Amino acid sequence: MHSENLKPIYSYIAQQIVDDYKITKGKCLDIGTGHGAMGIELAKITDFEMYFIDINPDSIEEVKQNVKNTNLNNKSHYLKADVCNLPLMDNFADFIVSRGSLWFWHDQIKGLQEINRVLKKGGVAFVGGGLGRYTPQDLREKLQGKGRKKLIERGETGFLSGDELQALLDKTGIDNCRLISDVENKPATWIEIRK
């Protein structure tokens, strides 16, 4: 699941998140964490107490090892859990990030509703996929070319963007949310929920 080519993008996205939302402490969930790079890069530049969450037990083992290798000072927790049934109380998290995972959820509406349920009042969730706004154009072009080819080869066509993402959001009944694009005038690939 981990691509070496994607490695640089996580720190760009983490910096974008901190710049845009200015939330740097409290509880942060990285849902569908995989190898954990998104949460790890965010933890490096914040005081977040991290919750690395994934449905796949192998990912949980991988992220534990990656956090260990990174020598993070942030308090970190590891949950093998389904986004559609999070074992967390309401109003729990100050920030939630989920990158590259939404397309794999077995019930995307339920998953987004669960994220909204566990998000604290005043908190923000940033869910979707893409390379973020700060990834330089040359790297973006290189990665998008490779990424698309791989998706086609693997027959993965579940990626949602633009109108499809809006239609999904409409079905959730969640207020205070909007779609975000990485690049101006391109279809949105992220959902932002503010509570």
Q: Between residues 41 and 94, which has the closer beta carbon with respect to ligand SAM?
A: 41
Closest residue by beta carbon to ligand SAM:
34
Q: In the bound complex, what is the minimum distance in angstroms from residue 97's beta carbon to ligand SAM?
A: 8
Burial of 148 (0-12, 13-18, 19+ CB in 10 A): exposed
Tokens of 3: 């691509």
Question: Is residue 105 involved in binding ligand SAM (CB under 6 A)?
Answer: yes
Question: Which among 109, 101, 183 is positioned nearest to 144, based on CA atoms?
Answer: 183
Q: Between residues 100 and 187, which has the closer beta carbon with respect to ligand SAM?
A: 100
Task: Tell which one of 12, 43, 74, 99 touches ligand SAM (CB under 6 A).
Answer: 99
Alpha carbon 166 to chain centroid, angstroms: 17
Mark residues 24-43: x for contact with ligand SAM by CB under 6 A, - for none: -------xxxx---x-----
123, 176 contact by CB (below 8 A): no
Q: In the bound complex, what is the minimum distance in angstroms from residue 195's beta carbon to ligand SAM?
A: 20
63, 74 contact by CB (below 8 A): no
Q: Residues 177, 162, 102, 139: is their CA dihedral positive or negative?
A: negative
- Residues touching ligand SAM: how many (CB under 6 A)? 19
By the criterion CB under 6 A, which residues form the site for ligand SAM? 1, 31-34, 38, 54-56, 59, 82-84, 99-101, 104-106
